[in-house]
Amino acid sequence: MYQLDGKVALVTGAGGKQGIGRSIATRLATEGASVAVCDLKDVGTPDWAGLSAVVEEIKCQGVRSVGLTGSVSNSKNVASLVEATLSEFGKIDILVNNAGAPAGPDRVPVVDLEEDVWDQVLSVNLKGTFLMSQAVSRHMIQRGGGGKIINMSSVSGKKGAARFAAYCSSKFGVIGFTQSLA
């Protein structure tokens, strides 16, 4: 497979018991990367320790890991996430923008969609992808070593669906942003 020894990855939206973020983070660790995992907050449940459990799972693979909390939709939080990763590991080689707004009040007809709900979905899914990509790109360019940025979208970013206006719009935006970034 891939050999990522000596590489450092930052994965957003990686604190869940089940989910793409956790799977990506643990796979990067399996391939040898040190991994900073972040999520909005470190929320555990009676059967899941949250972000700290993902960190421990990664460390059991013999690589370094750190758990970070913060919103990707706020530039100051993004700066803190990037700075904390750089402080811990000294560099970022791989960014995986996986954080996403949770499903819920946005799954209504457009005529019933509240503006603040629309704003929240686009803020996390699209603005968060932009802010994280911008901050990490600046580091990658300054360092001169390049890197990889992986932005998670959805089939909903290619085809709209009823009751998914905010989500589909945000994922269409992620695809367009990624093409522009490339």
Catalytic, 167? Answer yes
Catalytic residue among 167, 170, 174, 177: 167
Amino acid occupying residue 16: G
Amino acid occupying residue 58: I
Six-digit token string for 139: 């580091």
What is the arrangement of strands in the sheet containing 8-12, beginning at the earlier edge strand?
A: 65-69, 34-39, 8-12, 94-97, 148-151
Task: DSSP for 29-97, please give it.
Answer: HHTT-EEEEEESS---BTTB-THHHHHHHHHTTTS-EEEEE--TTSHHHHHHHHHHHHHHHS--SEEEE
Which positions are catalytic? 167
